[in-house]
Amino acid sequence: MNTQNTGDQRQVSGQVKWFDPSKGFGFVVAELGGPDILLHANVLRNFGQGSVVDGSAIEILVQDTQRGLQATQVLAITPPQADDTVPLRDMVEFTQDDIAQRPIEPARVKWFDKAKGFGFANIFGNEEDVFIHVEVLRRSGLSDLQSGEAVGLRLVDGERGRMAIEVVGWEIAAK
């Protein structure tokens, strides 16, 4: 896509180079080249996400600052295509259309441990734990979740109980 001027800001297509939610920032590489673009956690949160998986395609508005090029608004994020990883057994039977037809349920993250590769959340008004696997998180375009974070979940009944099949930002769930 082309870079488009919008006043002192311009639209840029790129790819997330890396993003670290614990540091609160990461960088984007523009499709057309040039210096890395700072992506601050607040800009990402304004889009409704607390993290973004490395390699995601991203559409952002950027502006030049004294510290260099910075993202001011996220317009769209597309997670990287699934690689050759083996799909989770509970997800094998679902197509993207099947997943998209499931309702988004508002939830709060109980805890998530990226190193262990999983965590749990609770649907609002329900004490039952919902399992969240790191692969589901990655396929949803997220890299990590924080305890207490509000998210939207699409769910399935798995072998061991309810589990997330997609995780979306709170702002998307609240629409």
The per-residue pLDDT for range 4-40, each reduced to its tens digit, is 444 589 999 999 999 988 888 999 999 998 899 999 9
Domains 4-78 and 89-174 share a fold: yes
- State the pLDDT at residue 115: 83
Give the residue from 72, 51, 54, 75 showing the smallest Cα distance to 63.
72
Topology adopted by domain 4-78: OB fold (Dihydrolipoamide Acetyltransferase, E2P) (2.40.50)
Alpha-carbon dihedral angle through residues 97, 107, 105, 59, given to the nearest 10 degrees: -50
What is the pTM (predicted TM-score) of this model? 0.63
CA dist., res. 50 & res. 145, Å (int): 7
- State the pLDDT at residue 84: 46
Instruction: Give residue limits of the domains in the chain.
Output: 4-78, 89-174
- State the pLDDT at residue 92: 55
- State the pLDDT at residue 159: 76
Q: What is the CATH number of domain 89-174?
A: 2.40.50.140
Q: Which residues does the chain have with pLDDT short of 70?
A: 1-7, 82-95, 171-175
- State the pLDDT at residue 13: 95
Other CB atoms within 10 A of residue 15 CB: 15
The CA R_g of the chain, rounded to the nearest whole Å, is 17
- State the pLDDT at residue 27: 95
